Amino acid sequence: METKMTEISRRRLLQAGVVTAASLPFLRAMPAQAQSSDVLVAVNGQTINSLDLHRTGTNRPSYQVAINCYDRLVSFGTKPSTGGGLEFDYSKVEPELAESWSVSEDGLVLTFNLRDATFQDGSPVTAADVKWSFDRAVSLGGFPAVQMKAGGFVRPDQFAAIDEKTFQINLDAPSKLAIPDLAVPIPFVINSKLAMANATEEDPWATEYLHLNTIGSGAFKVARWTPGEQLIYERNDDWASGPLPAYKRVVIREVPSAATRRAVIERGDAQVSFNIPSKDALELSELMEVNSTPIANCINCIGLNTKFEPFQDADVRKAVAYAIPYEAIFQTAAYGRGAPLWGEETERGDIAWPRKTGYVEDLDKAKEHLAKSGFPDGFEVPFSISLNQLDWMEPTALLIQESLGKIGITVTIDKIPGADWRTASLVEKRLAFHLEGFGGWLDTPDYYFFWAYKHGHLFNSSNYHNEEIEALVDVTLPMEVDHPDYEPNVKRMLEIALEDLPRIPLWQPALNVALNGATDYEFWFHRQLDVRPIKPA
């Protein structure tokens, strides 16, 4: 079967004249690497810009370094995925660096007993290292600090090293998100002695050193990093927090061209192609294993920035919602992969999220709402998309541009370089009309609302502000799901969000990963490649 697959791939590539080793110099070295059972080669279209997740400006593709090179106290279990392979199991928290833990009766004190583990330099992992790492995560600011806050971790004085192997957290209030929030990539454990030895007065948290070096106790360490080209992991044979990975070395190639990534995986010059376009996923599934996993707590949506005057008008927002050609977008941009979020509204008694919104393509209704608005003759607006996400954003934008033109709204498409996208859309929140694909790490609807509907929070790219939502999120976030107020609070959040429409849900996307010569891929909520469980096929 493997020989046949290679012949099919080679024949198709020769017929298409797509790629040769001569035309892509880095491929000359790849076949030999790919043939070794000790080396995994993975290709990805995104660029890693730092080895330190806590550092200001670190982008999402870089999060994989924290996952593969550092330990956290706990992790989530895994379960069979509807998209093929395995995926994380949010209902099951499992030990990683912590061998065991306990929660006090009042839910305020979390105590963790550490396993015997060592850092890459051979020094033991201690509770003092965990405390220093947690202090760093809440002190550097930005996204990491806000994510820690979601679990109730706000200040260094909440963390204590009781002895060398006992670490304790003191919460201000009990929270259902406290333990799960320790399993996200951010609270990773750093060799504090080595970090402090490379810190300076101007840089007390050693961000410059950790930007270029991994000093964890995780399954791998970064052996070499050439920004914009590749990152190479080497296995830590002394890893104590899980089963030893099958591969001794993992090469992560950055290949911006989707066509080239497709050619590479078809040739068998890489065993994994991560985050491939839906069109390629559909076609490659005839040749090899392709996992297409719906991304938990995630929607691809349209952002309507409330700083843009027309979008302050509720009738304008509804006019846009009824003018969207949802089905055409889903088939053209997603190739039917994922889950539709338009159409008959999900039952009001259901607190599932993502959910169907009740909005459908109806140009007559769209025109009625626009006529009632303060902009009956329409207006002009730029529609921003990222050059790094053209596979789904460009066809979506073109279809929306055409459809809104029919009701008098003139749309011009604004393509923003991928390197500037996060700053423009999420940090500065200056894009009037744009696409977004945010997924909440902790799989509850109130957690999604914490990030995407609270004013000033990173993924609220619409600058949306609603006092009732603010209050509901604050009181609901720490609440257990069996609390009598939890369900009605979430229902009210959903009701407001679908009435106000600062973002218009389109579909729940799938993460597509092609495997050719590898197996045991696991999908994770953070949408980055965890190379630890992957094995040769």
Beta-strand ranges (E) seen in 52-195 are 74-80, 86-95, 98-103, 109-114, 159-163, 166-170
Question: Tell me, what's the pLDDT at 26?
Answer: 43
Which residues is 380 bridged to in the sheet? 410
For residue 216, is pLDDT > 90?
Answer: yes
- Are the C-beta atoms of residues 425 and 460 closer than 8 Å to each other? no
- What are the pLDDT digits (tens) for 64-123? 999 999 999 999 999 999 888 899 999 999 999 999 999 999 999 999 999 999 999 999
**Interior CA angle at 102 toward 101 and 106, to 5°?**
150
Q: Where are the domains of the chain?
A: 2-67+221-290+512-536, 298-508
Instruction: Give residue 419's pLDDT.
Output: 77
User: Does the pLDDT at position 533 exceed 50?
Assistant: yes
Q: Residue 356 above 90 pLDDT?
A: yes
**214's torsion region: left (phi>0), alpha (psi -120 to 50) or beta?**
beta
Residues 146-167 have pLDDT tens digits of 999 999 999 999 999 999 999 9
What pLDDT score was predicted for residue 60? 87
Q: Which residues contact 243 (CB under 8 A, 6 or more apart)?
A: none
pLDDT above 90 as % of the chain: 86
What is the rounded distance in angstroms from the CA atom of residue 76 to the CA atom of residue 415?
Answer: 37
* β-pairing verdict for 249-254 and 503-508: unpaired
510, pLDDT greater than 50: yes
- The answer on pLDDT for 33 being more than 60 is no
* 483 has pLDDT over 70: yes
Q: What is the pLDDT confidence band of residue 348, given thresholds at 50, 70 and 90?
A: low
pLDDT at 30 over 50: no
Query: Taking Cα atoms as reference points, which of 529, 387, 440, 523 lies closest to residue 48?
Result: 529
* pTM for the full predicted model: 0.85
* pLDDT above 70: percentage of residues in the chain: 93
Q: CA Rg, the chain, in Å?
A: 24
Q: Is the pLDDT of residue 240 over 50?
A: yes
**Interval 408-412 mean pLDDT:** 98
pLDDT over 50 (residue 447): yes
| Architecture of the domain whose range is 2-67+221-290+512-536 | 3-Layer(aba) Sandwich (3.40)
CATH architecture of 298-508: Roll (3.10)
pLDDT in tens, 115-136: 999 999 999 999 999 999 999 9
Q: What is the mean pLDDT of residues 239-244?
A: 97
Tokens encoding 60: 């999402």
